[in-house]
Amino acid sequence: MTNPGTATGPAPRVLTIVLNYKTADMTLDSVAAARIAMEGIPGGIIIVDNDSQDGSFERISAHVAREGWDAEGRVRVVQAGHNGGFGAGNNVGIRAGLADGSAPDYVYVLNSDAFPAPDAIRVLLNHLEATPEAGFAGSYIHGPEGDTHLTSFRFPSIASEFEGSIRFGPVSRLLKNHRVPVETPTQTQAVDWLAGASIMMRQSVLDEIGLFDETFFLYFEETDLCLRAARAGHRTDYLPASKVAHIGSATTGMKEWKRMPSYWYDSRWYYFSKNYGRLYATAATAMHLLGGGLDYLRCLVTRRERKVTPGFLTTMLFHDMRALVRRPAASQVQESRDTISQS
């Protein structure tokens, strides 16, 4: 592939950010893959330890120095100082910038359990260089065995809350243009938002709209960022040609959850109330509860198993009722942050 920028001026610089939280060995494997994918691309990689407090920072720093990855500032390791969540941790890396203190042209966020193919970063970079209307670009994400991970989505809405909770084919067909999941594109395509496992962003767009909203601890922060970009006129594109292997939930432990954590409910309510208002957020919750209630009755009558986390609807009801009477503030999610920081 061509090296973008060489014919008309300096090649664009990319800052790759890998956020670590208690997954030192996996993070180093991710960085090793990113180093290969960054070959020939000016910029660097910054590893942000999100206050793991398990020796991760020291182990990663020692490995980077021992392997000589830190030559010329190509790979750096920084300590966040506290665990503010996914967005806050990545913001630490974005604010740090490149090794010389300057801002890059592009920021590439890579999960610590994600491993880009050798050309994955270059594909995203070339696309954004050639497509000025696109502010963000994300990769095709697949599992270790090649299975496709769904990472392309529409923005959540009142209609999507009902569709997603009722789990009924005729309703899903009626509201197909409101469903949050978007079938994985087979060619480059604009989508509303992408999961943050592998996404490249223009620094100029971040300068315009701001960084990740740190009120979100986990979940909905990418949705919110892509929504702000869209409202400012910047497209988010999905690129199947950029391939990244992803284990998934290695840091959050989501696959072993028996109940949804409180910070998920916090993030969902905050996303709707921040972007659409508290009345809209209340209506979205009401439609989710209505759909979920109808799904419960259908499964009760047909004796089918409900594929819903135990206590999900009642927890949402009481959580959102409490949130409705509280003043909107970042303090609403502080208790959840403290809980996971101590885990």
pLDDT tens figures, 285-295: 999 999 999 99
> For residue 264, is pLDDT > 70?
yes
Q: How far is CA 213 from the centre of its chain?
A: 12
Beta strands in 21-105, from DSSP E residues, in sequence order: 43-49, 75-79
Q: Of residues 271 and 303, which shows the higher confidence score?
A: 271
Residues 195 and 285 in one domain: no
Q: What's the confidence (pLDDT) of residue 334?
A: 47
pLDDT tens-digit series, residues 48-98: 999 999 999 999 999 999 999 998 889 999 999 999 999 999 999 999 999
> For residue 303, is pLDDT > 90?
no
Q: What's the confidence (pLDDT) of residue 129?
A: 98
Residues 136 and 262 in one domain: no
Rounded to 10 deg, the angle between the 56-67 and 24-37 helix axes is: 40
> For residue 318, is pLDDT > 80?
yes
Q: Residue 239 — very low, low, confident or very high, per pLDDT cuts 50/70/90?
A: very high
> For residue 250, is pLDDT > 90?
no
> For residue 133, is pLDDT > 70?
yes
pLDDT tens-digit series, residues 153-190: 999 999 999 999 999 999 999 999 999 999 999 999 99
Strand 114-116 versus strand 134-142 pairing type? unpaired
Q: Is 174 part of a structural domain of the chain?
A: no
Q: Is 52 part of a structural domain of the chain?
A: yes
Residues 25 and 141 in one domain: yes
Q: What's the confidence (pLDDT) of residue 259?
A: 82
Residues 131 and 265 in one domain: no
- Residues 103-127 have a mean pLDDT of 98
Instruction: Examine the fold and report which residue of 222, 251, 280 is the final residue of a domain before the chain moves on.
Output: 251
Residues 68 and 144 in one domain: yes
Residues 291 and 199 in one domain: no
Are the CB atoms for 45 and 35 separated by under 8 Å? Answer: yes
- Structural domain for 37, as ranges: 14-148+184-251
pLDDT tens-digit series, residues 327-340: 654 444 444 444 44
Instruction: Examine the fold and report which residue of 251, 276, 296 is the final residue of a domain before the chain moves on.
Output: 251
Q: Is 204 part of a structural domain of the chain?
A: yes
Q: Is 175 part of a structural domain of the chain?
A: no
Q: Is 265 part of a structural domain of the chain?
A: yes
Distance CA 79, CA 56 (A): 10
Residues 123 and 221 in one domain: yes
DSSP 233: T
Beta strands in the chain, from DSSP E residues, in sequence order: 14-20, 43-49, 75-79, 106-110, 114-116, 134-142, 152-153, 189-191, 193-194, 198-202, 235-246
Residues 326 and 301 in one domain: yes
Residues 27 and 114 in one domain: yes
Q: What is the pTM of this model?
A: 0.90
Residues 300 and 315 in one domain: yes
Among candidate residues 114, 45, 49, the one with its CA nearest the CA of residue 83: 49
Q: What's the confidence (pLDDT) of residue 339?
A: 44
pLDDT > 90: percent of the chain: 83
Residues 198 and 231 in one domain: yes
Q: What's the confidence (pLDDT) of residue 335?
A: 47
Q: What's the confidence (pLDDT) of residue 248?
A: 75
Q: Is 27 part of a structural domain of the chain?
A: yes
CA–CA–CA angle 21, 22, 24 (5° rounding): 100
Q: What is the CATH number of the domain that holds 75?
A: 3.90.550.10
Q: Is 126 part of a structural domain of the chain?
A: yes
Q: What's the confidence (pLDDT) of residue 331?
A: 43
Q: Of residues 122 and 261, which shows the higher confidence score?
A: 122
- Residues 215-224 have a mean pLDDT of 96
Residues 239 and 261 in one domain: no
- Residues 199-214 have a mean pLDDT of 98
Rounded to the nearest integer, the mean pLDDT of the chain is 91
Q: Residue 219 — very low, low, confident or very high, per pLDDT cuts 50/70/90?
A: very high
